[in-house]
Amino acid sequence: MIAILFTGGTISMRHDPAAQGAVPALSGREILAATRGIEDVADVEIEEWGAFPGPHMTIERMWALRNRIRTHLCRPELQGVVVTHGTDSLEESAYFAARSLAPDKPVVFTGAMRTASDLGWDGPSNLLDAVRVAASDGAAGYGAMVAMSGRVFTGLDVTKAHTHLLDAFESPGLGPVAVVDDGEVIFRRALVPSMAPLDPAEPATPVDLVYAAAGTDARLLDASRRDARGMVVAAMGRGNVPPAMVPGIERWVADDKPVVVASRAQRGRVGTTYGYAGAARRLVQAGAILAPGRRPQQARIDLMLALGLGMGTADVRALFES
């Protein structure tokens, strides 16, 4: 038995003349009815969890979804869980599940890049593939995954890399862990041992994210410092920022609030290669924390989970350095 949680997203949308665009319209049952052959893969049960476009998924909703997934995973009769989700925030919900749960059973997120009004609606095929993955014996131990366009990615490293193509999702520099070929799920690489899950009662919010660009200064950092509990800087390249951002980062550190530095680049790690003003080495010397292999949105989730566990700056530093 596979539980399917329908949360909304493009997979549930069709064109609305009054709105002059696509809006959520289909129920989970209607999407399931359009997914031919699913009954040959596994018995399924559905839960109409929500009807949210991807950008409407708040941290609180993501956490509630994560907790609902955990409840289903505890049911002995279930083999796995499938979640339909808006693709704009799908990677964040998948990462939340991957970093805060350690399930023996698979959790497979999926969605669609085209609506039910479009020629070539990909929702039913993606849903069928997700159920195939969740029902696969080979999925054990992979935890949270994303199944889109015949490819399967781990929730730990997947990102939406294109705005509208069907194969919009990637794991930059790594590729998929599996593919679905003629109905068969073929796992192609194993996962390296991952960090222990972070399982707070709830994530700490707000944790803000500021992007560095040419000429960026400290205004957004300073505006955020009053209310936010932590900051992630999406830095350039190896973790470097314009010099005008540095005083803002130093003021965060002086307040004993963690500042985590990731890279806005899709591939690679941040590191202390450079030593000029604003470079990652100088930021670390000032008290900032590097997030070596995490993208900014992933670092933000890890920081929310860590602060939710009551970690101080030193513990957060140890977490990211590990």
Residue 306 to residue 320: CA distance in whole angstroms: 10
Does 129 share its domain with 229?
Answer: no
Pairing status of strand 169-170 against strand 159-160: antiparallel
Find the CATH number of the domain harbouring 234. 3.40.50.40
What share of the chain has pLDDT > 90, as a percent? Answer: 95
Cα 239 to chain centroid distance, Å, stands at 21
Higher pLDDT, 196 or 249: 249
The arithmetic mean of pLDDT across residues 146-151, rounded, is 98
192 belongs to a structural domain: no
- Same domain? For 182 and 262 the reply is no
Each residue of 90-148: pLDDT tens digit? Answer: 999 999 999 999 888 999 999 999 999 999 999 999 999 999 999 999 999 999 999 99
Q: Are residues 239 and 120 in the same domain?
A: no
CA distance linking residue 144 with residue 156, whole number of Å:
8
Per-position b or e across 22-51, b if 16+ CB within 10 A of its CB: bebebebeebbeebeebeebbebebeebbb
- State residue 258's pLDDT score: 98
Tell me which of 187, 217, 240 is where a domain ends: 187
By three-state DSSP, how is residue 300 classified? helix
Residue identified by tokens 């680049």 is: 265
Alpha-carbon distances, residue 265 vs 76, 110, 212, 268 (angstroms):
42, 25, 11, 7
Asked if residue 240 belongs to a domain, the reply is yes
Structure tokens at 67: 């907790």
Does residue 201 lie within any of the structural domains? no
**Domain span holding position 166:** 2-187
pLDDT at residue number 290: 98
Distance CA 230, CA 301 (A): 11
Which residue numbers are catalytic? 10
From 255, 302, 306, select the one nearest 96 (Cα to Cα): 302
Indicate the residue among 155, 187, 219 that finishes a domain.
187
| 211 and 183 inside one domain | no
Residue 41 resides in a domain: yes
Measure the CA–CA gap between 266 and 88, rounded to whole angstroms. 16
- Quick check: helix, strand or coil at residue 29? helix
Domain harbouring 177, CATH code = 3.40.50.1170
Question: Do 269 and 124 fall within a single domain?
Answer: no
In this structure, the answer to whether residues 38 and 182 fall within a common structural domain is yes
Q: What is the pLDDT of residues 7-38, one digit of tens each?
A: 999 999 999 999 999 999 999 999 999 999 99
CA distance 109 to 82: 6
Q: In the chain, which ranges are E strands?
A: 2-6, 13-16, 21-24, 44-48, 80-84, 107-110, 144-148, 151-154, 159-160, 169-170, 178-181, 184-187, 207-211, 230-235, 259-263, 289-290
**C-alpha distances out from residue 244 to 191, 239, 255, Å:** 40, 15, 19
Q: What is the mean pLDDT of residues 37-65?
A: 97
Indicate whether 127 and 39 sit together in one domain.
yes
Please check whether residue 197 lies inside any domain of the structure. no
Flag whether 156 is in a domain. yes
Last residue of a domain, one of 141, 158, 187: 187
Radius of gyration of the chain (CA): 20
Residues 182 and 88 in one domain: yes
Are 159 and 272 within one domain? no
Calpha distance 161→163 (Å, rounded): 7
User: How many distinct structural domains can be found in the chain?
Assistant: 2
CA-CA-CA-CA torsion for 244, 209, 24, 123, nearest 10 degrees?
Answer: 100
The alpha carbon of residue 112 and the mean position of all alpha carbons in its chain are separated, in whole angstroms, by 16
Average pLDDT in the chain: 97
The answer to whether residues 26 and 170 belong to one domain is yes
Tell me the two tokens of residue 76. Answer: 């002995």
Both 161 and 230 in one domain: the answer is no
Q: Is the pLDDT of residue 192 over 90?
A: no
Which pLDDT score, from 0 to 100, does residue 195 have? Answer: 81
Structure pTM?
Answer: 0.96
Query: Would you say residue 200 lies in a domain?
Result: no
Q: Is the same domain home to 89 and 52?
A: yes
Which residue's entry shows tokens 């513990």? 315
Residue 129 lies in a domain: yes
